[in-house]
Amino acid sequence: MRCDYAVMTQEEKTVRFRALHRGPEILVLPNAWDVASARVFEAAGFPAIATTSAGIAFSRGYPDGQAISRDEMLDMVARIASAVSVPVTADVEAGYGDPVATAKAVVAVGAAGMNLEDTVAESSGMLADQETQAAVVREIQALGLPLVLNARTDVLLAGVGEASTRVARTIERLNAYLVAGADCVFAPGTGDRETIATLVAEISGPVNVLATKGMPIVSELQSLGVARVSVGSGPARAALGLTRRIAQELRASGTWETLMDGAIPYAELNALLRGARP
């Protein structure tokens, strides 16, 4: 897969990435937290890779929720984007205090897209004013950057407002972001077939959902009309879960069955990470 993209410019990657949102197949995006995970995902054949803000933050010793600085987050985005040949889209949370400057920085480090959420107070689940957030989307798109903007609302994820109003508020916000120029919109926090079908039917653009326990599988999401599904911090947390199981077994019994089961061979991983982009 690497050689298919090796000669593409950043602008060409952005065009390709945007087209993947409107192709015949759902865009399945794995979320990497470092270069090694990105290279593993690329080797598996994914046509694009997303980053996970939470996974990157965890790997650098921070909790999620913009505790990490923009510079540290974008340092890892830059490393990932330069290490793979497929388009990379960056999760940059709520923009680290200046979403427009962050959008420029995302492009500068080589990413073809970015996620921008509307949560302004992580601890309380408070969202930005809808019109203010739409204006931010409009301002970013007016820059004319080679960037696919995925605008996210956390109404469902954070449980904002009365439960009976959340789906309608999600639809209203995401349609407003599309009108403002977003290329795709993201509604994490929904996992049931009925809600997903409603969102797809009522939102006037490509819809991204977050893979969660119990939600429909990829083929079913495609049949519902979902354009894009991402896995967020799931792979990073799964890797840490495996690390915890290894630690528990090693500490409790002094054995290493969990450690050895499924590990990528040293030589294979070393070869995967050797050398630059072809």
pLDDT band for position 248 (50/70/90)?
Answer: very high
Rg (CA), the chain: 19
pLDDT on residue 85:
95
pLDDT on residue 124:
59
Give the residue carrying structure tokens 């997303």.
50
pLDDT on residue 1:
38
DSSP state letters, 95-113: -TT-HHHHHHHHHHTT-SE
Given a contact cutoff of 8 angstroms between Cβ atoms, the answer to whether 210 and 188 are in contact is yes
- Average pLDDT across the chain, whole number: 94
* β partners of residue 207: 185
Joined tokens for residue 197: 């079908």
Joined tokens for residue 166: 């959340």
Taking only the tens place, the pLDDT of each residue in 196-214 is: 999 999 999 999 999 999 9
Inter-CA distances, 10 with 34, 68, 104, 194, 276, Å: 20, 26, 14, 38, 17
Taking only the tens place, the pLDDT of each residue in 68-85 is: 999 999 999 999 999 999
CATH 3.40.50.720 for domain 2-232: no
